[in-house]
A and B are shown apart, each in its own frame.
Chain A
């Protein structure tokens, strides 16, 4: 791998990643961050400072909802869960992303 070790997130993609992470099941904020990192096989850098504002934003849009629960190490933690609306949104954003990647790919190949 050349250049930067870990890719910075494109603007707006964090939401998509959070939704995807939560589609595997409810998780607390820390876990969401960890889960994304694992899924990206440590190639993505998640700013913890931007994770929570994103979570709150998604909660306001009612794509996810949150409640207090007990974490794997028996601590009180706030768990986030995908709502049906969030699941629908995830599908839309996934499709958008595929189209985007395709388009960018085409452009890059012609160069």
Chain B
């Protein structure tokens, strides 16, 4: 009904002519009828006509009233306002452009960031009733262990599953890499081993075939079946519908394919492509792992029973934990009992999947972008106020000519809404573009930046968040309406006579700066807050950029340029294979050096080990980084020898076993003693249980970073890969040839040796360095971007206020110039006002930054949150830009022509 009315009225806009004519026709009919009647009663035609018209009275008014009802005067007025508004906006292109861009940036940037934040940590997990899913840790996460949630041993998991009442279902999972074998092109696949309850628990069903059965959950290593992820099914099996029943070989074990999973599902870590039953651990992991209550390797999720709260379930866990401890006693003896809390701990799956560090990063970005929005709003407000103030005369004239105050306000409202709508629409575009930008510059997937949570979704499906867009749009609208109307309200209260007489506002009352009109304080406040907020952003960006610079100057302890890394992984590493491969690769053209190692710098150690030193009675030392490497490893990576020697081709099986340690080990383990010649015993060394127990330290090398580059290097030891240790997989090559060419050549050599060994994760060390710094770079880039926008906006804000102030003081300045004030004096006079605003803003901003930027601490490297350099440079930069924005209006002031100024009324 209501809608039909509006539609009729809108129609009326296009048919206003017709409507007028229809009304005239109708009234004419009436008059004609009356005339006929009158003539019938004996009047003369003239008399009849006159009488008919007289009876009507004011014909025009009746026509107008009819038109109001039929045609919609209301909408016509809106249309008129819109056209007038558009004309006003077009007539002030600078104002319009700045206001629209400001709004678009504010709305767009905020929407984009919020869309991403929502995508990576807020939206519910894409499972059935995700709010009832929980992660079950074996014990409380231990901050000392890097807060890694403790994994479960299979027998303990069984007890939990069978003896807790709070859960509708409990499932275990674990993900590892295995080789896809038995094909022409071997590949490393991420395989998630899961209990049969896993898929029903999540509410995931196979799109072809079935998921795992309870039968397949019982006997270790018997029913070897597998499910394919959608992407693997597409990629390796050409989306073959007949794939069910075929086999897929993982580490040379054949698995029968029983189903295909829906697209987008990639397991709990968000990267799996194949699923196998937990029982396959018997062949894929080591034999007996499933029965070992001390081998901790699986994670557990559960679905709460309907009506059971997290707290109730947690309370039950105390009993379950006790039962597990009674069944498998003694596990608490390895550590001081106080450190062990063996009560299973629950956490909502959603929050368990969001890394607190990443959450903080995004909250910081969200806060920063909100500041940008605030600045944008302040800027829009200030622009609208400035323009409103400049139009006081126009308003006064319109009021004097009989426009109602309501009509005037409606006009201004229309203008503001028009601005907000255009700005909002552009803002949606900016948001789309911003999301694209964020996706392109997002930290690398390998940088451990994205949580398994983010990966649980298809990352590229980040959409514009309509709620955020609506919210920001309404904010823009509210700003526009509020500050657009303020001048109108003021104008409607003003004395029309005075306003018209006073002209551009100034007159002689305006000698005190900042108090020239009633809205000046409001506008000054807006500009001061703009500058303050911008300074906070600038300082944040400065701190991040300085951190990034610091990260790049960190001594990595090796030379990353021209290093290419490839992984060639065998289920049971054969030294022979690697020696042959190395020999062949060294012969390839363009290879400066080549080596193999169990890992490489920045990839993490292959293992951490306990170690003891011969002749020492003190405790074993824990957490020593351990790697086995070939003789040329140090040369290939540019790790410098400090003392002694590195491995040689003579350090083979049969020769005395030797070790190389890093400087950190030399300093912290041997503490001034000469390490060379000392005998040490690393526990992970497979020969530890058998043969020779101790190896001799023969060399000391520089500290190469294996872990996070912002952390200090811990003691590391290297053993020689030719004196076999397990897990040799990384092939490292130094060459200035194109990495792709090298990789292709190496792949040919690998294939020639063993076609079941895949060559994977080919990357240059420079890429890896970029990866590990990508989070800092990402945050620095965004904060830098925001700070740039903020700087621009506040410059515009200052310019707007100063321009207005100068134009308002035209008469005053004219008199001063007429009385002999020099250019310099006028310039100083105007700049002094500007400086007062800028100075106030900078002080407020610096104090705010000093008090609040503590929140950045976790993101900063080697830079304090109150870094004096940044706190000095950022305000200076802002001051220069702001002063520059003042300068143009000030210059204009000196050009004031006294004659024009005095006559300007």
Binding site for B on A (CB under 8 A): 28-30, 47-49, 52-53, 56-57, 59-60, 62, 68, 71, 75-78
A52-B62, A53-B62 known; A30-B69 Cβ under 8 A: no
B30 touches A30 (CB 8 A): yes
- In angstroms, Cα B30 to Cα A68, docked, is 14
A75 touches B32 (CB 8 A): yes
Q: How far is the CB of B23 from chain A (nearest CB, A)?
A: 8
A76 touches B56 (CB 8 A): no
- In angstroms, Cα B32 to Cα A53, docked, is 19
A49-B57, A77-B26 known; A62-B1 Cβ under 8 A: yes
A56 touches B30 (CB 8 A): no
B55 touches A53 (CB 8 A): no
Name the residue of chain B whose CB is nearest to the CB of A57: B69
- In angstroms, Cα B27 to Cα A110, docked, is 46
Complex interface bits, B23-67 against A, C-beta within 8 A gives 1, otherwise 0: 001110110111000000000000000000001111000100110
A77 touches B56 (CB 8 A): no
**Chain B contact patch, size range:** 20 to 34
Q: Which one of A28, A48, A59 lies within 8 Å of B29 (CB-CB)?
A: A28
B70 within 8 A of A: yes
Q: Which residues of A contact B249 (CB under 8 A)?
A: none
Q: Which one of A47, A57, A60 lies within 8 Å of B57 (CB-CB)?
A: A47
- In angstroms, Cα B52 to Cα A30, docked, is 12
B22 within 8 A of A: yes
Name the residue of chain B whose CB is nearest to the CB of A28: B29
Q: Which residues of A contact B27 (CB under 8 A)?
A: 52
Q: Which residues of A contact B70 (CB under 8 A)?
A: 56, 59
Q: How far is the CB of B13 from chain A (nearest CB, A)?
A: 17
A29 touches B26 (CB 8 A): yes
Q: Which one of A29, A53, A76 lies within 8 Å of B65 (CB-CB)?
A: A53
A30 touches B55 (CB 8 A): no
B57 touches A53 (CB 8 A): no
B56 touches A48 (CB 8 A): yes
B30 touches A53 (CB 8 A): no
Which are the 6 A-B pairs with shortest beta-carbon distances? A49-B57, A56-B69, A30-B33, A78-B26, A53-B65, A48-B55
The 24 sampled A-B contact pairs (Cβ below 8 Å) are A28-B26, A29-B26, A29-B30, A30-B30, A47-B55, A47-B57, A48-B55, A48-B57, A49-B56, A49-B58, A49-B62, A52-B26, A52-B62, A53-B66, A57-B69, A59-B69, A68-B22, A75-B29, A75-B32, A76-B25, A77-B26, A78-B25, A78-B26, A78-B29
Q: Which one of B1, B33, B65 lies within 8 Å of A56 (CB-CB)?
A: B65
Q: How far is the CB of A74 from chain B (nearest CB, A)?
A: 12
Q: Which residues of A contact B66 (CB under 8 A)?
A: 52-53, 56
- In angstroms, Cα B25 to Cα A58, docked, is 19
- In angstroms, Cα B1 to Cα A47, docked, is 31
Name the residue of chain A whose CB is nearest to the CB of B68: A56
The residues in B between 66 and 95 inclusive whose CB is less than 8 angstroms from any CB of A are: 66, 68-70
Q: How far is the CB of B33 from chain A (nearest CB, A)?
A: 4
A28-B29, A30-B30 known; A78-B57 Cβ under 8 A: no
Binding site for A on B (CB under 8 A): 1, 22, 25-27, 29-30, 32-34, 55-58, 62, 65-66, 68-70
A52 touches B29 (CB 8 A): no
- In angstroms, Cα B26 to Cα A68, docked, is 9
Q: Which residues of B contact A60 (CB under 8 A)?
A: 69
- In angstroms, Cα B55 to Cα A47, docked, is 7
- In angstroms, Cα B68 to Cα A59, docked, is 12
B56 touches A30 (CB 8 A): no
Q: Which residues of B contact A68 (CB under 8 A)?
A: 22
Q: Which residues of A contact B1 (CB under 8 A)?
A: 62
Q: How far is the CB of A27 from chain B (nearest CB, A)?
A: 12
Q: Which residues of A contact B30 (CB under 8 A)?
A: 28-30, 48, 52
Q: How far is the CB of A67 from chain B (nearest CB, A)?
A: 11
Most buried by B among A28, A49, A59: A49
Q: Which residues of B contact A52 (CB under 8 A)?
A: 26-27, 30, 62, 65-66
Q: Which residues of A contact B32 (CB under 8 A)?
A: 75
Q: Which one of A49, A56, A77 lies within 8 Å of B55 (CB-CB)?
A: A49
- In angstroms, Cα B33 to Cα A29, docked, is 10
Q: How far is the CB of B64 from chain A (nearest CB, A)?
A: 10
Q: Which residues of A contact B68 (CB under 8 A)?
A: 56
Most buried by B among A52, A68, A71: A52
- In angstroms, Cα B26 to Cα A30, docked, is 9
Name the residue of chain B whose CB is nearest to the CB of A78: B26
B62 touches A30 (CB 8 A): no
Q: How far is the CB of A56 from chain B (nearest CB, A)?
A: 4
- In angstroms, Cα B483 to Cα A32, docked, is 52
- In angstroms, Cα B32 to Cα A76, docked, is 12
Q: Which residues of B contact A28 (CB under 8 A)?
A: 26, 29-30
Q: Which residues of B contact A53 (CB under 8 A)?
A: 62, 65-66
Most buried by A among B26, B27, B34: B26
A78 touches B56 (CB 8 A): no
Q: How far is the CB of B174 from chain A (nearest CB, A)?
A: 70
Q: How far is the CB of A46 from chain B (nearest CB, A)?
A: 9
In the complex, given contacts A49-B56, A49-B57, A52-B27, what are 18 additional A-B residue pairs having Cβ atoms less than 8 angstroms apart? A28-B29, A28-B30, A29-B26, A29-B29, A30-B30, A48-B30, A48-B56, A49-B62, A52-B26, A52-B62, A53-B62, A56-B66, A56-B70, A59-B70, A71-B33, A77-B29, A78-B22, A78-B26
Q: How far is the CB of B4 from chain A (nearest CB, A)?
A: 9
- In angstroms, Cα B1 to Cα A52, docked, is 23
Q: How far is the CB of B524 from chain A (nearest CB, A)?
A: 49
Most buried by A among B25, B27, B69: B69
Name the residue of chain A whose CB is nearest to the CB of B30: A30
- In angstroms, Cα B29 to Cα A30, docked, is 8
- In angstroms, Cα B38 to Cα A48, docked, is 15
Q: How far is the CB of A48 from chain B (nearest CB, A)?
A: 5
Q: Which residues of A contact B65 (CB under 8 A)?
A: 52-53, 56
Name the residue of chain A whose CB is nearest to the CB of B67: A56
Q: Which residues of A contact B69 (CB under 8 A)?
A: 56-57, 59-60
Q: How far is the CB of A8 from chain B (nearest CB, A)?
A: 15
Q: Which one of B25, B29, B62 lies within 8 Å of A71 (CB-CB)?
A: B29
- In angstroms, Cα B58 to Cα A71, docked, is 25
- In angstroms, Cα B32 to Cα A107, docked, is 45
- In angstroms, Cα B68 to Cα A57, docked, is 10
Name the residue of chain A whose CB is nearest to the CB of B25: A76
- In angstroms, Cα B22 to Cα A20, docked, is 25
Q: Which residues of B contact A76 (CB under 8 A)?
A: 25, 29
- In angstroms, Cα B317 to Cα A59, docked, is 72
Q: How far is the CB of A1 from chain B (nearest CB, A)?
A: 21
Q: Which residues of B contact A57 (CB under 8 A)?
A: 69
Most buried by B among A53, A62, A68: A53
- In angstroms, Cα B495 to Cα A81, docked, is 51
Q: How far is the CB of B75 from chain A (nearest CB, A)?
A: 14
- In angstroms, Cα B66 to Cα A18, docked, is 16
- In angstroms, Cα B55 to Cα A30, docked, is 12
Q: How far is the CB of B691 from chain A (nearest CB, A)?
A: 101
Name the residue of chain B whose CB is nearest to the CB of A53: B65
Q: Which residues of B contact A77 (CB under 8 A)?
A: 26, 29
Q: Which residues of A contact B33 (CB under 8 A)?
A: 30, 71
- In angstroms, Cα B69 to Cα A78, docked, is 15
Most buried by A among B33, B55, B56, B57: B33
Q: Which residues of B contact A71 (CB under 8 A)?
A: 29, 33
- In angstroms, Cα B17 to Cα A59, docked, is 20
- In angstroms, Cα B27 to Cα A78, docked, is 9
- In angstroms, Cα B55 to Cα A71, docked, is 21
- In angstroms, Cα B237 to Cα A62, docked, is 67
- In angstroms, Cα B9 to Cα A60, docked, is 11
Q: How far is the CB of B60 from chain A (nearest CB, A)?
A: 11
Q: How far is the CB of B500 from chain A (nearest CB, A)?
A: 37
Q: Which residues of A contact B25 (CB under 8 A)?
A: 76, 78
Q: How far is the CB of A81 from chain B (nearest CB, A)?
A: 15
Q: Which residues of B contact A78 (CB under 8 A)?
A: 22, 25-26, 29
Q: Which residues of B contact A49 (CB under 8 A)?
A: 55-58, 62
Name the residue of chain B whose CB is nearest to the CB of A61: B69
